[in-house]
């Protein structure tokens, strides 16, 4: 790396981060069963990557209905809180900073993952297309399945979910996390409320963009009361065109994504939260975010801005140098390179990513990638 800016410290909320490299939330499906509890192996995985300036945990479901994939961890039981404590202790022992990503998949689930085999819940009874849930079919084995038609949440149930987000944030702090991130991306529950393609409600949570953002606005307010706004971030995935290669975003490409997501970011600015994280499309030949959108995000939001998606160190450094980003997330490279910051800063070669072991399994493809030194 020729530009050292990614190696420089930066503040985030009340934290001083040692560099601008982010381990973004990455689903790995290694929780202990039964109970969806974080494990010693997960603690080792996060410890290995704790030289990142900032870390966000994999998505952790806020309640049983929030699960869309077998073996993902939760943060709604005392046992889950204790499991996550192993992770945060491991990260802090290495001087790292880690937030918990609070996750509810909404309609991207299946009867096999829902309490008593019920239908998943969602803003509206609209079946997701070209997106799959993942259920366990035998111990350690599973398959991708088509989600069924979900059940539309009643208005009072939406308000109850806001309280569940607040309770999950309280649990995250009890588990030792430094803050929390609300998962409002990738076609999951909060994103479903924002999207006119997934939300056809006629109550206060549907219709206009202002109403479709109400769920996010209420969650941000409720979680801020628990953790403080400077310990809170939100992740979005604004998509400016659609493609069959993207199994999650299909159907959630807004008619005017520029307007929709700037309005969402205005919600965050008004709340005074620490950061907004933008997950860009990351498949081959994916469209890049328009420069006008990046500039408007910077002009609208006064907190820290994180981008992730197909970034090299050089491309990320250019975005930071231009003043459009403060931190850069690296997903797949961080899976394969536990010492990724040192490799980027020193120009060392990267380990190749192995597809086997990406989701579920043991230490293979998880904690067995070697460091350079």
Active site residues: 188
| Start-to-end C-alpha separation, the chain | 18
Asked if 89 and 154 touch (Cβ cutoff 8 Å), the reply is: no
Whether 53 contacts 19, CB under 8 Å: yes
SS (H, E, C) the chain: CCCHHHHCCEEECCEEECCCEEECCCCCCCCECCCCECCHHHHHHHHHCCCCCEEEEEEEECCHHHCCECCCCECCCHHHHHHHHHHHHHHHHCCCCEEEEEECCCCCCCHHHCHHHCCCEECCCCCCCCCCEEEEEECCEEEEECCCCCEECCHHHHHHHHHHHHHHHHHHHHCCCCEEEEECCCCCHHHHHHCCCCCCCCCCCCCCHHHHCHHHHHHHHHHHHHHCHHHEEEEECCCCCCCCCCCCCCCCCCCCHHHHHHHHHHHHHHHCCCEEEEECCCCCCCCCCCHHHHHHHHHHCCCEEEEECCCCHHHHHHHHHCCCCCEEECCHHHHHCCCHHHHHHHCCCCCCCCCCCCCCCCCCCCCCCCCCC
Interatomic CA distance for residues 235 and 147, integer angstroms: 23
């Amino acid at each position: 790396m020729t530009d050292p800016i990614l190696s420089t410290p930066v503040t985030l909320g009340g934290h001083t981060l040692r560099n601008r490299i982010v381990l973004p939330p990455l689903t790995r499906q290694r929780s202990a069963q039964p109970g969806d509890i974080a494990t010693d192996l997960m603690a080792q995985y996060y410890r290995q990557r704790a030289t990142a300036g900032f870390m966000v945990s994999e998505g952790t479901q806020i309640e049983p209905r929030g699960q869309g994939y077998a073996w993902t961890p939760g943060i709604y039981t005392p046992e889950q809180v204790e499991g996550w404590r192993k992770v945060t202790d491991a990260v802090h022992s290495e001087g790292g900073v880690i937030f918990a990503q609070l996750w509810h998949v909404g309609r991207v689930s299946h009867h096999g993952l829902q309490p008593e085999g019920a239908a998943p819940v969602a803003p509206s009874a609209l079946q997701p297309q070209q997106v799959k849930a993942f259920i366990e079919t035998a111990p350690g084995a599973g398959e991708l399945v088509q989600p069924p038609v979900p059940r539309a949440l009643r208005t009072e149930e939406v308000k109850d979910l806001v309280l569940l987000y607040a309770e999950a944030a309280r649990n995250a702090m009890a588990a030792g996390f430094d803050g929390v991130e609300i998962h409002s991306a990738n076609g999951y529950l909060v994103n479903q409320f924002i999207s006119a393609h997934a939300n056809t409600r006629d109550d206060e949570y549907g219709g206009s963009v202002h109403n479709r953002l109400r769920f996010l606005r209420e969650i941000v307010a409720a979680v801020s009361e628990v953790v403080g706004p400077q310990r809170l971030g939100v992740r979005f995935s604004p998509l400016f065109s659609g493609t069959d290669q993207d199994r999650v975003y299909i159907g959630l490409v807004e008619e005017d994504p520029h307007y929709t997501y700037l309005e969402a970011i205005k919600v965050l600015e008004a709340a005074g939260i620490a950061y907004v994280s933008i997950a860009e499309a990351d498949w081959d030949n994916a469209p890049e975010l328009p420069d006008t959108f990046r500039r408007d995000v910077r002009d609208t939001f006064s907190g820290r801005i994180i981008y992730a998606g197909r970034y090299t160190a050089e491309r990320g450094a250019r975005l930071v140098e231009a003043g459009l980003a403060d931190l850069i997330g690296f997903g797949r490279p961080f899976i394969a390179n536990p010492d990724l910051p040192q490799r980027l800063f020193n120009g060392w070669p990267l380990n190749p990513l192995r597809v086997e072991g990406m989701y579920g399994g043991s230490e293979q493809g998880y904690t067995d990638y070697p460091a350079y030194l």
